[in-house]
């Protein structure tokens, strides 16, 4: 017989451990129930939470199509009482019909399973229903290819199915695009070289400081945010040359200053600017700025380098996926 949904009271131990101890244990369980998803979510990165929130919003849209109105699945565990494996299966089919990419469908399924597991721990979703939800399978790569052959739309949005790989001629042309008569040109060339020579992620470059680039030792300190690690990479001659010219234009060389900074339309760098509150700042080139700049440089050679949607290191087709020599890790 299927297990019934449990209340917070049912989470307390059933053994006779004394009234005082039992009340304290029950209070702990009640606190856990009231915290809901917060305990799980505070361990997750902001980018992960943004993706999960979007996943839940799409799940709710699929439920609305069959007349089920839920709008707080991301924050309210109690709404998971009515979630069943059949609704999760419906979500997969709904996405296929809408034309969502197979990889995105699999990622959203993983989100649903994780939140279902937390709801089960809270006593909201039965363990039997969680088991059935976990048995809902995503699509393997070969299955995805078969499905896509039968669909007219296989992805939504501007993200490309495959990365754009540049030929040697195109790559050489891309490195010639930055106007090295200006500070912005040397900044752009250094940016491209960091992306290509070392295969860095845009977010890793954005967080770099001047101190991370050790020209004397030809070492770059990289914080791998995705894996929560650190590495020290050997600089290539091309990076050293670009960085040497770039620093000739830099005014703010403080060790804590951002490595890659914004540039003005005139080609100068946005450094040591006095704000209205009197604070003097050097403005870093943000993640969107890095991606937009790579995209613009690509258009100069007639190539759509859509860095918003594909990892730039894949777009540039860099060989460093095999790894550059690591000095320390």
- Which residue in the block uniquely carries the two structure tokens 């000739």? 248
Question: Would you say residue 191 lies in a domain?
Answer: yes
pLDDT at residue 7 is higher than 80? no
Within-domain flag for 157 = no
State whether 138 and 242 are in the same domain.
no
Same-domain pairing of 313 and 175 = yes
- Higher pLDDT: 119 or 323? It is 119
The CATH number linked to 204 is 1.10.443.10
Q: How wide is the angle at C-alpha 53 spanned by C-alphas 47 and 58, nearest 5°?
A: 130
How many other C-beta atoms can be found within 10 angstroms of the C-beta atom of residue 228? 8
Residues 228 and 273 both lie in one domain: yes
User: pLDDT (tens digit, 9 = 90+) per residue, 253-309?
Assistant: 999 999 999 998 889 998 888 777 888 888 889 888 998 899 899 999 988 775 443
Give pTM, 2 decimals: 0.63
Residue with tokens 């009515």: 82
Do 137 and 193 fall into the same domain?
no
Q: Looking at the 3D structure of the chain, how many domains does it have?
A: 2
Model confidence at 19, pLDDT cuts 50, 70, 90, reads: low
Residue 162 pLDDT level (bands cut at 50, 70, 90):
low
Residue 207 lies inside a defined structural domain of this protein: yes
| Domain assignment of residue 273, given as a range | 168-328
Q: Are residues 175 and 50 in the same domain?
A: no
Contact 123, 33 (CB under 8 A): yes
Q: Nearest 5°: phi and psi at 270? A: -90, 90
């Amino acid at each position: 017989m299927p297990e019934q949904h449990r209340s917070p009271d049912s989470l307390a131990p059933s053994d006779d451990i004394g009234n005082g101890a039992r009340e304290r244990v029950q209070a702990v369980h009640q606190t856990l129930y009231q915290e809901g998803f917060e305990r799980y979510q505070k361990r997750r990165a902001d980018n992960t939470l943004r993706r999960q929130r979007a996943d839940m919003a799409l799940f709710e849209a699929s439920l609305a199509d069959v007349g089920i109105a839920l709008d707080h699945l991301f924050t309210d565990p109690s709404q998971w009482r009515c979630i069943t494996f059949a609704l999760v299966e419906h979500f997969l089919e709904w996405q296929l019909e809408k034309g969502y990419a197979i990889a995105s469908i699999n990622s959203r399924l993983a989100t649903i399973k994780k939140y279902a597991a937390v709801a089960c721990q809270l006593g909201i979703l039965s363990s039997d229903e969680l088991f059935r939800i976990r048995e809902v399978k995503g699509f393997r790569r070969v299955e995805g290819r078969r499905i896509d052959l039968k669909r007219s739309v296989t992805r939504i949005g501007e993200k490309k199915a495959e990365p754009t790989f540049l030929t040697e001629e195109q790559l050489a042309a891309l490195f010639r695009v930055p106007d090295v008569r200006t500070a912005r040109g040397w900044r752009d060339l250094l940016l491209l070289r960091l992306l290509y020579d070392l295969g860095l992620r845009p977010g890793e470059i954005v967080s770099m400081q001047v101190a991370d680039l050790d020209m004397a030792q030809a070492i770059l300190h990289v914080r791998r945010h995705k894996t929560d690690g650190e590495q020290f990479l050997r600089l290539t001659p091309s990076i050293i040359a670009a960085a040497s010219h770039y620093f000739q234009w830099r005014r703010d060389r403080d060790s804590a200053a951002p490595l890659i900074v914004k540039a003005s339309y005139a080609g100068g760098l946005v450094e040591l600017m006095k704000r209205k509150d009197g604070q003097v700042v050097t403005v870093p080139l943000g993640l969107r700025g890095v991606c937009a700049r790579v995209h613009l440089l690509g258009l100069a050679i007639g190539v759509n380098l859509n860095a918003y949607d594909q990892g730039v290191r894949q777009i540039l087709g860099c060989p460093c996926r095999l790894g550059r020599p690591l000095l320390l890790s």
